[in-house]
Amino acid sequence: MFNLFKMLKLSSLALCAILLYGCGGGGDSTSPGSALLTCTLPQIPNPTNTACIDPPPFSCPKGQFPNDTNDGCRVGKDPNAPAPVVTAGPDQAVLFYKRPQDGAYEGFRLHTWNNETCDAYQPSSIAPSWDNGLQYNGIDPNYGAYWILNLKPGYAGTEGACGSFIIHIGTDDAGKDPALDMQMPLSQDDPDFARMNWVFSGNTNIYEFPIVSLGVSIQGAAAHWLTANTFVWNTPVADTAPVVKLFYSTDASLTVNNSDEIEGGSSIELTPVAADDSLAQLVPHLANAAVFSANFTAEQAKDMAKNQLALAAYNSDNELISASYVQVAKVLDDLYATGDNSALDAQLGVRYNGNDVSVAVWAPTARSVTLKLYNASKAVTATHNMTADATTGVWRYNGSRSALDRQFYRFEVEVYHPLTRKVEIVEATDPYSVNVSTNGRYSQFVDLNNADTKPEGWDSREVPVVANPTDIVIYEGHVRDFSIRDQSTPAAHRGKYLAFAEADSAPVRHLRKLAENGLTHFHVLPLNDQANINEDANRRINLTDTIGRLCQLNAQAPVCGVENANATIESVLQSYLPYESKAQELVQSMRAIDGFNWGYDPHHFIAVEGSYASNPEGIARIKEVRAMNKALNDLGLRVVLDVVYNHTSSSGLFDNSVFDKIVPGYYHRYSETTGNIERSTCCENTATEHKMFDKFIKDSLVILSRDFGFNDFRFDIM
């Protein structure tokens, strides 16, 4: 065996030698190469390897520059930047504010103030009030509007020296640019630009050296898609740009590179056209915007509206000069809520028909919608792909009563969201929810015709009629406040819907007496599902609770470790002297966890508030609010419900957001220039001018009247 292995090894060596010889291995076929040129860094050989040259500049975003070794970027002084028209004198600061998108500074003011962190300004440089900010001192042709601010002597240059400021137009938060409180540094030691700072519209960075341009970015959302083939762009640049293109990206990857080129999508060129009267009627606030047309079929437009979109303007040299994201709310009305068999005719929410149950949601920009079912423990029990109707944009699922009834549910929606500029996968409750779980976290399938949802006598109730409107006499009340402190109401019903059905309680006797003397209407403050009351009674505090329980829920309360843990909150409040601040401090520590709220923070508009029910989980809130309305009708009073359709408590991707997760950018009113949520009402404004929100208002009023027993409505800020 040993000899056999030895022979095989020798044979292999011989074979290798033959192969090498056949491939030229028998002679040296290599030729001497050229010697590589050696260069001293940072230089590199030229393409012909004959000389050392400086490397091309490292590619950096506008506003940054190659570092000393040309292998990275730095923020710093641009040696080629033109000198500003003004510099800071002793004990002065200068703030520059540039709006590259339009160069329009009229109306912008500077709000300034001193505090413990930034105590910089002399009185002459502190804005008198929010609505009376400082007027800019001038406009630099390169750096925009500027303010010259007088500083306290000797303050600048000290450690951490800074000045607080907000640049804004108008008094609404939406007018802040950017929408933040900002601090300018005042400790710079540069001999040329100490106490000088530069900011750009829509950019939260503060630059300590002159910067002419940050390059073009896709900024704001001043472009609007109105009808299938009509766009407007609310910026002066669009009025004169030779070329305007629509960019679109399925995966939401549009970006501007360091060479001011838009990447991450495709584009089509739009055609400038003259505005007509119909556009002025549709969007009077955009009547002077530049108008452009495309050439889409309805199907192409519907597909396009699901993408990330931007309009881009180019000069005559085909250089990008401006870009804006596109808002699509109006075109959704045109594509889905116009003409016969539109979304306006669709039945949304849950529908029961014998043993069949359907659920439908309008989500025209969604890529997919999944119905997720949950049991009473909120564990997922099933998921079902919903089917889209391309004509209406409605997604629907049909199932059996046995599989769906009393189950909790949510919609899982895959959709592009304009606030994050990403394609998101989110879970949302149903805007048309007739019932929800504790704190509105889940919607619930409930047949409102089921006997166990009705108080005794519900189907035969009689609603009072007031023939002459001039005879109406209205009494305003609040569900919780009506009975929460009343000892004649059973403890379990205090602050609840069922307190109104306690015929012998003092509050009900009071109402009965008023009705006998001409009162016709009981106007109840909002009782739709609210966002800021914890419906879990174990997580909520009352005046009758002990200090110990308060401290379990809020260990930072000022009474913790100070007052007797077994004393009631009420008794401790009564022990304080009226001129002390202790009572206010104690009440403040309860504010986020007590049960008091007037109700003007809607989470869901149809499902009613659970903290007023005997149990926030299940159908108790439905049956008990019906009992309240019937009891008031039995007293001879019509029930007026205060409704708050002008805003919601949340938007975007936050937990309490509903509408804005399902059709982002549609149900809420976004600023026509920045794309930020408008909050003039106090909170997230709704877009009541959009057709499908108008439909929702009408649909929900019908449900509240027909199914919950409310007789009239009072509209908040409409």
682 conformational bin, left if phi > 0, alpha if psi -120 to 50, beta if neither: left
Does pLDDT of 13 surpass 60?
Answer: no
Q: Cα–Cα distance between 239 and 671 in angstroms, integer?
A: 20
- Tens-digit pLDDT profile for residues 20-70: 334 444 444 444 545 678 888 778 888 888 899 888 878 777 767 777 777
The pLDDT confidence band at residue 76, using thresholds 50, 70 and 90, is confident
Q: Which residue has the tokens 């805007």?
A: 431
Q: Cα–Cα distance between 136 and 105 in angstroms, integer?
A: 9
**SS3 per residue for 424-459:** EEEEECCCCCCCECHHHCCEECCCCCCHHHCCCCHH
Least confident range of 212-221, 482-491, 684-693: 212-221
Identify the residue with better confidence: 10 or 640.
640
Contact 209, 77 (CB under 8 A): yes
Residues in Cβ contact with 236 at an 8 Å cutoff, skipping those fewer than 6 apart: 102, 103, 104
Does pLDDT of 661 surpass 50?
Answer: yes
Identify the residue with better confidence: 21 or 210.
210
Residue boundaries of the structural domains of the chain? 60-215, 223-327, 348-452, 455-533+597-715, 544-583
Q: Cα–Cα distance between 549 and 552 in angstroms, integer?
A: 5
Contact 188, 194 (CB under 8 A): yes
Predicted pLDDT of residue 259? 87
C-alpha neighbours within 13 Å on the C-beta side of residue 644 = 24
The pLDDT confidence band at residue 685, using thresholds 50, 70 and 90, is very high
Chain mean pLDDT for the chain? 92
Neighbours of 486 (CB within 10 A): 19
CATH number 2.60.40.1130 given to 223-327: yes
Q: What is the percent of the chain with per-residue pLDDT over 70, rounded to a whole number?
A: 95
Predicted pLDDT of residue 83? 96
Q: Is the pTM of this model over 0.85?
A: no
Predicted pLDDT of residue 55? 83
Does pLDDT of 86 surpass 80?
Answer: yes
Does pLDDT of 17 surpass 50?
Answer: no
Closest by alpha carbon to 296, among 226, 359, 387? 226
Tell me the average pLDDT across 96-121: 93
Contact 440, 429 (CB under 8 A): yes
- The string of DSSP letters for 293-347 reads E----HHHHHHHTTSEEEEEEE-TT--EEEEEEEE-HHHHHHHHSSSTT-GGG--
Name the 3-class secondary structure at 201: coil
- Tens-digit pLDDT profile for residues 343-362: 999 999 999 999 999 999 99
Identify the residue with better confidence: 538 or 14.
538
Q: Cα–Cα distance between 91 and 624 in angstroms, integer?
A: 68
- The string of DSSP letters for 365-422 reads TEEEEEEEEE-TT--EEEEEE-EEETTTTEEEEEEEHHHHTT-EEEEEEEEEETTTTE
Predicted pLDDT of residue 16? 39
Tell me the average pLDDT across 261-273: 97
Tokens of 549: 């329980």
Q: Cα–Cα distance between 145 and 166 in angstroms, integer?
A: 14
CATH H-level, domain 348-452: superfamily: Immunoglobulins (2.60.40.10)
CATH fold match for the domains 60-215 and 348-452? yes
Q: Which CATH architecture has domain 60-215?
A: Sandwich (2.60)
Identify the residue with better confidence: 425 or 190.
425
Q: What is the percent of the chain with per-residue pLDDT over 90, rounded to a whole number?
A: 81
CATH classification for the domain delimited by 455-533+597-715, as one of 3.90.1150.10, 3.30.830.10, 3.50.50.60, 3.20.20.80: 3.20.20.80
Predicted pLDDT of residue 419? 92
Cα first-last separation, the chain: 102
Distance of CA 620 to the CA centre of its chain: 32
Does pLDDT of 289 surpass 70?
Answer: yes
Predicted pLDDT of residue 34? 57
